[in-house]
A and B are shown apart, each in its own frame.
Chain A
Amino acid sequence: MYDATIVESIGIFFAAVVAGTFGALLGLGGGIIVIPVLTMIFKVPIKEAIAASLVSVIATSTSAAIVYVEKHFVNIRLGMTLELATTIGALLAGFTVVYINSRALALLFSAILIYTALNMLRKKEGGGSLDGDTYIEVPPQATRRELEAHISDGRTPYKITRMPLGMAASFVAGTLSGLLGIGGGIIKVPVMQLFMGVPMRVAIATSNFMIGVTAAASALIYYSRGYINPLITVPSALGVLLGAQIGVKLVHKVKVRVLTQVFVVVLIFTAIQMIVRAI
């Protein structure tokens, strides 16, 4: 196990604060930023970094989910249904990660960094605000009269479609979460919004709600296998948690579009670095 000194643990904490802040500003999970920082700057073995990241992801997603649930943005039934698939994927990954070469994990993570960078360029701002419309799921057979009744009550109705596709995507997201220590939201949110008919705000809230269970399913396996190193995990989790709170406060004060463009460059550069080191 990685033997961090007190100075290194403090360094990991501050790095995690920065990671959490940028994650909240840019709509990224902490894992995408925490893992490259731990492996490339602090030279933490990747599986310990993944374990620390999973716990950090649980901390931040759970904190955010509290707010989303209380404001009724989460479609809990949809989230629970998709969690069936994501939990199985996370378990599969958790059981098999011990057999997977660290280089392969690094290369896969690099691919995810590039995918995230491209996704950030495509993404429009907004959608995550907690103010504005309220939404209500309606059954596929809802009549026009029922839809109009919801609208006149101030609620935007939506119908969920393509559930099998959503389950398949959740399985993939769960597998990636277990293998790479990320939350999986970069897959779940676009699938829910673009293919399942879920409004963006509900998709973000429901994905956030699910991420805790996804990460916990793998984290339980990492815990029982002894991959969790408290010297790394504790400062990471607390740092990302604090950083996320700071990021939320700053989101209306910084030019997120400019920050996004800069961060895309950083992500691609980091991905190339990880590929070069893995090869």
Chain B
Amino acid sequence: MHKKNKIDIDRPIAIILLSGVLVSVVLLLGGIGMSALNPDLVEKSVGSVGHELHETIKLNPSGWMNLGIFVLILTPVMRVIAAAFSFAWIKDWKYFWVASTIFVAMMVGFFYGDG
């Protein structure tokens, strides 16, 4: 493998992973903090992403925690997208299509997973 290609791919992937974990931890801890003040607002299930975004804006602790969970799950998905873009940038089309296929498969699971 060429070292330039290796450096080009690794950096954006590491940034995406770190960003996802940090954002999700902030949301989770924020939700826990708010739930200490309003424990009655905490729900035991997750809703749709749109619903949780709406609840997060309303400072509902469940919204923050559920969105934090979703961001954490989404982080590897974003990593796959970052890898696809990185491979496209260095014109490694074989692995661009590998990454793209993985992304499509994951989206099939998300949008059709409720049966």
Contact = CB atoms under 8 A, between A and B. Distances in A.
Interface string B1-33: 100001001100110011011001100110110
Interface in A211-233: 212-213, 215-226, 228-231, 233
**What is the interface residue range for chain A against chain B?**
35 or more
Contacts of B114: 224-226
A76 B31 contact: no
B75 A58 contact: yes
B56 interface: no
Contacts of B105: 84, 87-88, 91, 217
Interface stretch (A2-10, A123-131, A269-277): A2-10
A238 interface: yes
Interface stretch (A19-27, A35-43, A66-74, A251-259): A66-74
A58 B72 contact: yes
B109 A91 contact: yes
B66 A230 contact: yes
A212 B20 CA distance: 12
Chain B interface mostly: helix
B53 to A, nearest CB: 14
**What is the interface residue range for chain B against chain A?**
35 or more
Chain A interface mostly: helix
B102 A224 contact: no
Contacts of B66: 230
A228 B67 CA distance: 12
Nearest to B3: A136
Contacts of B10: 69-70, 72, 74, 76
Interface in B81-115: 83, 95, 98-99, 101-102, 105-106, 108-111, 113-115
A70 B16 CA distance: 12
B109 A1 contact: no
Which 5 residue pairs are nearest across A and B when measured between Cβ atoms? A221-B113, A212-B76, A220-B110, A224-B113, A216-B76
